[in-house]
Structure 1
Amino acid sequence: MTNFSIVIPAKNESGGLLGLLPELFEQVSVLEVIVVDDGSSDNTAEVAESFGAKVISHNYSKGNGAAIKAGARAARGDAIIFMDGDGQHSPDDVNRLIEAYGEGYDMVVGARGKSSQASHSRWLGNGAYNFISSLMVGHKIDDLTSGLRVVNAKKFKGFIFMLPNGFSYPTTITMAFFRAGYSVKYIPIIASERIGNSHLHVFKDGVRFFIIIFKVATLYSPLKIFFPVSSMLFFTSLSYYLFTYITDNRLTNMTVILFVISVVVFMIGLVSEQITTLLYQNSNQED
């Protein structure tokens, strides 16, 4: 029988935990509930402890990903359920994810629909991430950034060193699981409106998520990014050479530079691909 640990990263989420934790303990049967207080300035830790949750406290805010890693390291269950502490995730959906996990998947993710997005722009942004990541892995990804998921604890901990301390841990672990050949399932959920203020910022996090899109590709297969860039540079150098040869009967320095850059970019991509392959190969051997 699989034992489940619930890990909830929380920063100033006392209001959300007041409603969430009683429902969790009443409706979901798990080994433990771990709340990671990420440097809160309110009574998040006290609220969590009052309902019987195990609390891990950070002296200062280290980030959502850092809280996830701290909770995962402390979790004793065979599988770990990650969820937000802001009241968006329903215990009913947690039970649905647990049921789906029992079908033999390595990770089950709650996929939010359009009605669950905070704004139209957020929905469009998430749609772009899902589309690009789906192209990369060759599988349909319904929600790349969902914070509600159940994972095999041993396999998740095998990638814990890769996870960033910020908000992009769902992206990183999703791509890592697909790259390692683990089975992933998405089930639709409805995320409620969060309690309290969001920790996301439109402009700063817009740039950050643009970087995530690039990271999605490099995590899964770096050569899929570097090869097209290298090819573009190569054909540009070839075209420019033909142009200068026909018009001036000469080979320019720019042609040589573009050609050399194209080769360098390709070699960087090739080396990165080999490093990535070794990384995931070692993770599989540890299982």
Structure 2
Amino acid sequence: MEKEPAVSVLIPAYNEAGRIGDTLEAVLSIPEVAEVVVVDDGSTDATAEIARACGARVISLERNRGKGEALNRGVPLCTRDVILLIDADLGASAVQARQLLLPILEDEADMTVARFPAARRRGGFGLVKGLARAGIRWYTGLVMDAPLSGQRALKREVLQHLLPFASGFGVEVGMTIKAARLGFRVREIPVVMTHRETGRDLKGFIHRGKQFWHVARVLWQARG
């Protein structure tokens, strides 16, 4: 008898009308995926409408609340034993998320983290990534190549120990520290995924400035 699909996919999305359709088409083609939940984080474009048309269950927040809170709102709607967290801007490369699922389904890891190929263009100076990597290693001893990666798969019983997620862009660092401290098996998995990259322009530096502040806040809170 064929097994029932075991995976819920949770996608936070903010003004991703241009890529959400391709992302959803890709994840829905993964055999183990049973359902997709999209949290429209106060978008002003057609993100929610496109996601519904693709077959996702959509909840829309009244205003933009940030990635961590969007994930917190979506978790209760995920009903399966394995949860896949991915970003909305992966497009067709989201099919690579299956590489994150297999170690979980085969009980070789409790949480997997996607390690992307090298960036195609120069972004920041590595300050946010360096801070995240150093903080995770300081608190847990875990050495991460991709501490900020938002593409993750984890078991439901692990997820329950990690909630609520930290607000904003500190969610991944907070999640990793909690999981490692509790002794869960965290593995990085190389994938061939692509997403929108921020450049060395004003918008990119503002984004990375927010990231740095959010990561620093999570690390400060983790000291206790």
How far residue 123 of structure 1 moved from its aligned partner, in angstroms, is: 4.1
Instruction: Give the match for residue 169 of structure 2.
Output: 167
Which of 16, 19, 24 is the equivalent residue of 1:16? 19
Q: Would you say how many aligned residue pairs link Structure 1 and Structure 2?
A: 217
Which of 106, 118, 134 is the equivalent residue of 1:114? 118
**2:186 maps to 1:184:** yes
Q: Are 1:4 and 1:77, in contact at CA under 8 Å, matched by a contact in 2? A: yes
Which region of structure 1 is more displaced relative to structure 2, 120-129 or 7-16? 120-129
* C-alpha spacing 1:57/1:103, structure 2 compared with 1 (3 Å): same
Q: Give me the TM-score of the superposition, normalised by structure 2.
A: 0.84
Q: Distance in 1 between matches of 2:207 and 2:58?
A: 30
* C-alpha spacing 1:205/1:23, structure 2 compared with 1 (3 Å): closer
Secondary structure of 1:12's counterpart equals: coil
One-letter identity of the residue aligned with 2:103: A
Q: Distance in 1 between matches of 2:134 and 2:49?
A: 41
Instruction: Give the match for residue 84 of structure 2.
Output: 81
Q: Distance in 2 between matches of 1:29 and 1:101?
A: 12
Which of 158, 161, 175 is the equivalent residue of 2:161? 158
How far residue 149 of structure 1 moved from its aligned partner, in angstroms, is: 0.2
Report the structure, 1 or 2, having the larger helix content.
1
Q: Are 2:38 and 2:59, in contact at CA under 8 Å, matched by a contact in 1? A: yes
How far residue 207 of structure 1 moved from its aligned partner, in angstroms, is: 5.8
Q: Give me the TM-score of the superposition, normalised by structure 1.
A: 0.67
Q: Are 2:10 and 2:74, in contact at CA under 8 Å, matched by a contact in 1? A: yes
Question: 4+ runs of 1 displaced by more than 4 Å?
Answer: none
- For the pair shown, which has the larger CA radius of gyration, 1 or 2? 1
Q: Are 1:6 and 1:81, in contact at CA under 8 Å, matched by a contact in 2? A: yes
Q: Distance in 1 between matches of 2:197 and 2:173?
A: 24
Q: What are the within-5 Å matches in structure 2 for residues 1-287 of structure 1? A: 3-87=6-90, 90-104=93-107, 105-115=109-119, 119-121=122-124, 123=126, 125-161=128-164, 163-194=165-196, 202-203=205-206, 205-206=208-209, 208-210=211-213, 212-213=215-216, 215-216=218-219, 218-219=221-222, 222=223, 272=224
RCO higher in structure (CA 8 A, sep ≥6): 2
Secondary structure of 1:115's counterpart equals: coil
Deviation string, structure 1 residues 187-239 (Cα, Å, up to 9, x no partner): 12233142999xx75246426515624633652xx3xxxxxxxxxxxxxxxxx
How far residue 122 of structure 1 moved from its aligned partner, in angstroms, is: 5.2
Q: Are 2:113 and 2:189, in contact at CA under 8 Å, matched by a contact in 1? A: yes
* C-alpha spacing 1:113/1:195, structure 2 compared with 1 (3 Å): closer
How far residue 19 of structure 1 moved from its aligned partner, in angstroms, is: 1.5
Q: Distance in 1 between matches of 2:211 and 2:20?
A: 28
Secondary structure of 1:90's counterpart equals: helix
Q: Distance in 1 between matches of 2:117 and 2:198?
A: 21
* C-alpha spacing 1:85/1:208, structure 2 compared with 1 (3 Å): closer
- Percent identity between matched residues is 27
Q: Are 2:20 and 2:91, in contact at CA under 8 Å, matched by a contact in 1? A: no
How far residue 55 of structure 1 moved from its aligned partner, in angstroms, is: 0.5
Deviation string, structure 1 residues 136-164 (Cα, Å, up to 9, x no partner): 32122121111100011232133313x22
Q: Distance in 1 between matches of 2:214 and 2:97?
A: 30
Q: Are 1:33 and 1:54, in contact at CA under 8 Å, matched by a contact in 2? A: yes
* C-alpha spacing 1:121/1:89, structure 2 compared with 1 (3 Å): farther
Unaligned runs of at least 5 residues, structure 2: none
One-letter identity of the residue aligned with 1:181: G
Q: Distance in 1 between matches of 2:125 and 2:142?
A: 22
Secondary structure of 1:155's counterpart equals: helix
Secondary structure of 1:114's counterpart equals: coil
